[in-house]
């Protein structure tokens, strides 16, 4: 997946809360995603966590005083304000929130905040009574009105165990907030709405049985996340599955059968610029759903009459003939005559391109975390090596962006 935090410069403001230890997890998560972190800590913050730990994790000296040494050199909050792509105050105590709201610039963190040119995120951490107090709420409201983003405290179990009801949102969720922010700023799918179908469908036989398939939906979810990371609004339609996306989606519709997926997809396609049909849709469904559980026959075989489902990709392909400019992407999972079968589907379903993966390739297809694809359009064929599905998603979306440009 495109890493939206790569190379981003984050100023992390740490204040005097027991949740300060969580700053280590925040730093680790941010650095793992390729961000640069500059810590600015309040004097009270240093009572909870040592600057040595923080500078070791960030590979940068921690800033806490106006004057670093007694030789006249000083830390420039103005320069830090210009350097940063975002400032995150986590944990933010009631005191720091109050100072931020009222411009009480008595420490380096607040002066840095006042000089900040980048967006500011605030993750409050305090006892629930303090948090609920009208003073704190009024200060938070003030911060919101200044355009700051408040990351509401969740109910982290460890934090509540340590400090009663005090809690800061979990580091992973705080990082996700930053990722969502950067994903929404730019990216080559900015302003585009992309429909993605993913996962299997279940076709009911009776109240307890269905016809399904082995699709886990991983490839489709990776595509939905990749589109989101590049700034698209994603409408995700999934059949029954265990997995979930990294990012919250613009819209997520959960369906069960091919016919439910068909209805949801046709409706969503109206507002989409492109559709990626990554679902493994059942081709047949029982002619009739039994109202009661089918009994085991005493002897012999039984026959289950099946009727064809609607082909969702082909239906959208038909709609595309009327409304030009939309890009339609299909998948093909083939075991024989791969290329010619895929080319046939490309034509039949009126797709702009089709992603072919062959079950004959080791590590490709259902259930694996890797995939080996080949993309076919009317002009020709592009082969890609075996890669993790998250990286395959980057290749497919690169191809989609290119296609959208030539169509649009
Ligand atoms: N597809 C769909 N609706 C269906 C069946 C397939 O939208 N009812 C889409 C899939 O999501 C995929 C593409 O069509 O993008 C090809 O799916 P596949 O099952 O390989 O093709 P079929 O048309 O079902 O052909 P066959 O089963 O004969 O290979």
* Average confidence score pLDDT of the chain: 92
Does residue 345 line the site of ligand 1, with CB under 6 A? yes
User: Which residue is listed with tokens 């020709």?
Assistant: 380
> Does residue 194 contact residue 227 with C-beta atoms inside 8 Å?
yes
Q: What is the pLDDT of residues 251-307, one digit of tens each?
A: 999 999 999 999 999 999 999 999 999 999 999 999 999 999 998 877 888 899 999
Q: Which atom of ligand 1 is nearest to the CA of 280?
A: 11
Let me know if 213 is a catalytic residue: yes
Alpha helices in 249-309 (DSSP H): 258-269
pTM of the model: 0.91
Distance in angstroms (rounded) separating the CA atoms of residues 196 and 408: 19
Q: Is 53 exposed, middle or buried (0-12, 13-18, 19+ CB in 10 A)?
A: middle
pLDDT at position 73, please?
Answer: 66
Q: Which of 135, 34, 154, 142 is nearest to 90 (CA)?
A: 154
The H-or-E segment that residue 2 falls in is none
- Given 173, 177, 213, 341, which residue is catalytic? 213
Residues forming beta bridges with residue 237, ordered by sequence position: 197, 253
pLDDT for the residue numbered 370: 87
Check whether 80 has a pLDDT greater than 70.
Answer: yes
Q: Is 330 in the pocket of ligand 1 (CB under 6 A)?
A: yes
Q: Which atom of ligand 1 has the smallest separation from the CA of 315?
A: 7
Question: Does 85 contact ligand 1 (Cβ within 6 A)?
Answer: no
Ligand 1 pocket, 313 CB below 6 A? yes
Nearest one of 316, 341, 343 to 328, comparing CA atoms: 316
The pick from 277, 317, 376 for probing ligand 1's pocket by mutation, whose C-beta has the most ligand atoms within 8 angstroms, reads 277
Distance CA 330, CA 338 (A): 14
Sequence-separated (6 or more) residues with CB below 8 Å from residue 403: 327, 352, 353, 377
């Amino acid at each position: 997946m495109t890493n939206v935090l790569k190379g981003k410069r984050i100023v992390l403001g740490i204040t005097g809360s027991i949740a300060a230890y969580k700053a280590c997890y925040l730093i680790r998560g941010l650095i793992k995603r390729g961000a640069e972190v500059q810590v600015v800590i309040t004097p009270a913050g240093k009572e909870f966590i040592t600057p040595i730990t923080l500078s070791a994790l960030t590979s940068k000296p921690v800033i806490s005083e106006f004057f670093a040494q007694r030789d006249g050199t000083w830390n420039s909050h103005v320069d830090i304000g210009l350097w940063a792509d975002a400032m995150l105050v986590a944990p933010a105590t009631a005191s720091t929130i109050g100072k931020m709201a009222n411009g009480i610039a008595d420490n380096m963190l607040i002066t840095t905040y006042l000089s900040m040119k980048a967006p500011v995120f605030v993750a409050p951490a305090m006892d629930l009574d303090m948090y609920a107090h009208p003073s704190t709420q009024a200060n938070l409201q003030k911060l919101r009105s200044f355009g700051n983003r408040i990351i509401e405290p969740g109910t982290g179990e460890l934090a509540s165990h340590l400090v009663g009801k005090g809690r800061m949102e979990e580091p992973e969720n705080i990082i996700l907030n930053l990722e969502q922010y950067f994903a929404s700023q730019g990216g080559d799918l900015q302003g585009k709405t992309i429909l993605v179908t993913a996962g299997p469908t279940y076709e009911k036989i009776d109240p307890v049985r269905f016809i399904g398939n082995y699709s886990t939906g991983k490839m489709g979810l990776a595509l939905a996340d990749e589109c989101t990371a590049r700034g698209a609004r994603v409408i995700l339609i999934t059949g029954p599955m265990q997995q979930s996306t990294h990012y919250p989606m613009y819209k997520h519709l959960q369906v069960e059968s091919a016919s439910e997926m068909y209805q949801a997809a046709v409706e969503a396609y109206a507002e989409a610029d492109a559709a990626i049909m990554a679902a493994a849709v059942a081709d047949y469904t029982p002619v009739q759903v039994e109202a009661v559980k089918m009994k085991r026959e005493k002897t012999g075989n039984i026959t289950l009459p099946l009727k064809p489902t609607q082909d969702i990709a082909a239906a959208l392909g038909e709609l595309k003939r009327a409304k030009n400019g939309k890009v339609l992407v299909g998948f093909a999972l083939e075991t024989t005559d791969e290329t010619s079968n895929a080319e046939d589907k490309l034509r039949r379903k009126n797709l702009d391109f089709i992603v072919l993966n062959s079950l004959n390739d080791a590590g490709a297809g259902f259930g694996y975390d890797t995939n080996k694809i080949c993309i076919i359009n009317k002009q020709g064929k592009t082969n890609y090596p075996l890669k993790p599905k998250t990286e395959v998603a980057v290749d497919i979306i690169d191809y989609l962006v290119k296609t959208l440009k030539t169509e649009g």
